[in-house]
Amino acid sequence: MLSSRTDTHFAPAQGMTGRSPESVSFEEAWEAARGSRDVPPRSAIDLRRFAPFARWFAIIEPDPEAVALPFRLTGSGFREFFGHDLTGVDYLTLTDPSIRQLAYDCVMACLKEPCGLWQATPATTAEGGSILYEYTILPIAKAGAAADHIVIFVNFEAKPTNDLPGLSRIERSTVWHWLDIGFGVPPAQVGQAPLG
């Protein structure tokens, strides 16, 4: 659910000002996988619950030593979109350099609280145009109870998935909200610019 202590940027691009039904469904699948735990274990993130999101789904394992967000698993949509498998690629290398540290800080805040994050983010295409997409990220645990990975569902707006242009750079988000999963959300000053 959207937090009442939400930090919001109101500069909606191309009409995306609120969460899509797909984003909400993704969070509901995450909730079902969580059960009575603080966050779901990675082993509970299975196709039984997440099949509708598999094409645009990813798992990232933040590296606190290297300030990196490497992909550990990506859906087929990412491979088709980028032309290669992103496993092992640092997400931060895809973002505008001016937001890399803030993007990393937001992910780490999602793990620490724990909480989720929803955002609408523009990206510059290889042809110089812009597309808008929706991120929903939620924490998971590889082993044990502590959140140490994030799951991401990316929902592209106003573009058929078989006609997405090449990506040049992920920009700063235009609209975003922390998602309170029962433990509160970070203070407003944490993560002044979300993931992208």
Domain ranges of the chain: 21-179
**pTM of the predicted model over 0.95:** no
- Structure tokens of 90? 């640092």
Q: What does each C-alpha distance from 19 to 59, 104, 138, 139, 165 come to in angstroms? A: 20, 22, 14, 18, 23
Q: Which residue has the tokens 């779901």?
A: 40
Residue 33, pLDDT score? 96
In the chain, % helix, strand, coil (3-state, to 5) comes to: 30, 30, 45
- Is pLDDT larger for residue 18 or for residue 67? 67
- Is pLDDT larger for residue 186 or for residue 7? 186
One CATH from 3.40.190.10, 3.90.550.10, 3.40.50.2300, 3.30.450.20 for 21-179:
3.30.450.20
177 confidence band (pLDDT: 50, 70, 90): confident
CA 100 – CA 194 distance, rounded (Å): 10
102 confidence band (pLDDT: 50, 70, 90): confident
Shortest CA distance to 149 belongs to which of 50, 31, 47, 63? 63
Residue 164, pLDDT score? 46
Q: What is the mean pLDDT of residues 96-124?
A: 86
- Is pLDDT larger for residue 183 or for residue 174? 183
